[in-house]
Homo-oligomer: A and B are copies of this chain.
Amino acid sequence: MRTGAAREEVEDVVTKAKSLGLDVQLNIGTDKTVVAILGSNTGQISTDLFAVLPGVESVTRIMKPYKLASREFQQRDTLVDCGGVKIGGERIVVIAGPCAVESEKQLTQAAEGVKKAGAAILRGGAFKPRTSPFSFQGLQKKGLELLAGIRERFGMPVVTEVVNPQDVKLVSSYADMLQIGSRNMQNFALLTAAGKSGHPVVLKRGFSCTITEWLTAADYLLAEGKNKVVLCERGIRTFEDSIRFSLDISAVPVVKKNSHLPVIVDPSHAAGHYSLVPAIAKAAVAAGADGLLIEVHPNPKEALVDGLQSLSLSDFTRLMEELRTIARSVGRYI
């Protein structure tokens, strides 16, 4: 309450809390009265309900707004199964492949190369969210078919992005795991549709969303009760201009502390430049990430999308060897 708040103002707050079935305790300090509002669901109640009342200076939330994604809701780590590959366990799962599916030849070369180098899951975009309407928008259904063919041929599970609620069913029929991109992290219509699919989902962090907002978005997926979520840190927007997005390495320990969900790191979209990918990938493994999502292209110079951030197959193979050594040094394997 504001310094000098009237007794009736304090009582209005108390009445409001009680009307919502909450308990209240008053702390009458030297300068200010603090009203503590207690209850098991206070994290999901809007603070505005109290902040609008006269005499209230500010409302501070002690409970987190997310629930299903929280470590308090579930103590043990969640293991997510993607076509037989477990994410969240001792193995560090590397997901690799081209940004966009461009052709059968390109996808075959990529899949063959990343599998040989030790990647567990293939990635490739069929529906591409592009910032400009004049850019290549992906092969769409044709891309999904190519991905499905490659999955059969190489026996690798496949993850691909979905950008429109209407496409969730279609994409789910081809892919082992759905990806929700950074710009769609708070596209709640899409989250709800993806949640209903029952498929595992890689939820990329919005590039300007806090970790709390990210876990709250995961609640949308978990609220449907059927599916599992892998969180993916991919860099946040800051003032620094030497890199496309600043990878928030602390997201790894912070998520581990507050959530039971596995967390992986995408060094490629953060870096925006292939030369910075290896250092970030190594840091992620050392920091405790459960996996990596790396863009690899058989011929980066000819890539239709994001060639600059893609590793060549030989660079990826070299990086995988370094990552294996670091994984061992933190008691894990790739």
Name A's B-contacting residues (CB within 8 A).
3, 23, 25, 27-32, 34, 36, 38-40, 42, 44, 46-49, 51-53, 60, 62-63, 65-67, 72, 129-135, 163-166, 183-184, 186-190, 192, 207-208, 210-213, 216-217, 219-220, 223, 236-243, 246-254, 257-258, 270-271, 273-276, 278-280, 282-288, 300-301, 303, 305-309, 322, 325-326, 328-330
Chain B contacts for A34, CB-based, 8 A: 36, 38, 62
Chain B contacts for A130, CB-based, 8 A: 188
Please tell me which one of the listed residues B240, B253, B301 contacts residue A52 in the complex, with CB atoms under 8 A apart. Answer: B301
Chain B contacts for A46, CB-based, 8 A: 135, 305
Please tell me which one of the listed residues B30, B49, B212, B278 contacts residue A38 in the complex, with CB atoms under 8 A apart. Answer: B30
CB distance from A311 to the nearest CB of B (A): 11
Q: How far is the CA of A251 from the CA of B276 in the complex (A)?
A: 10
Which of A32, A270, A274, A283 has the largest count of B CB atoms less than 10 A from its CB?
A: A283
Please tell me which one of the listed residues B187, B254, B257, B309 contacts residue A187 in the complex, with CB atoms under 8 A apart. Answer: B187
Chain B contacts for A67, CB-based, 8 A: 134
Main secondary structure of the interface of A (DSSP, over half): mixed
| A211 with B134: CB separation less than 8 A | no
Q: How far is the CA of A168 from the CA of B219 in the complex (A)?
A: 26
Please tell me which one of the listed residues B30, B208, B278 contacts residue A208 in the complex, with CB atoms under 8 A apart. Answer: B208
| B44 with A40: CB separation less than 8 A | no
Q: A62-B60, A183-B187, A284-B283 are in contact. Are A237 and B250 (CB under 8 A)?
A: no
Q: How far is the CA of A271 from the CA of B25 in the complex (A)?
A: 29
Residue of B nearest to A308 (CB): B48
Residue of B nearest to A25 (CB): B27
A-B pairs with the 5 shortest C-beta distances?
Answer: A208-B208, A286-B286, A283-B283, A29-B38, A253-B279
Which of A51, A223, A275 has the largest count of B CB atoms less than 10 A from its CB?
A: A51
Chain B contacts for A252, CB-based, 8 A: 279, 283
| B30 with A308: CB separation less than 8 A | no
Q: A34-B62, A250-B280, A307-B49 are in contact. Are A131 and B329 (CB under 8 A)?
A: no
Q: How far is the CA of A239 from the CA of B29 in the complex (A)?
A: 30
Chain B contacts for A211, CB-based, 8 A: 240, 242
Residue of B nearest to A72 (CB): B3
Chain B contacts for A239, CB-based, 8 A: 208, 210, 236-239
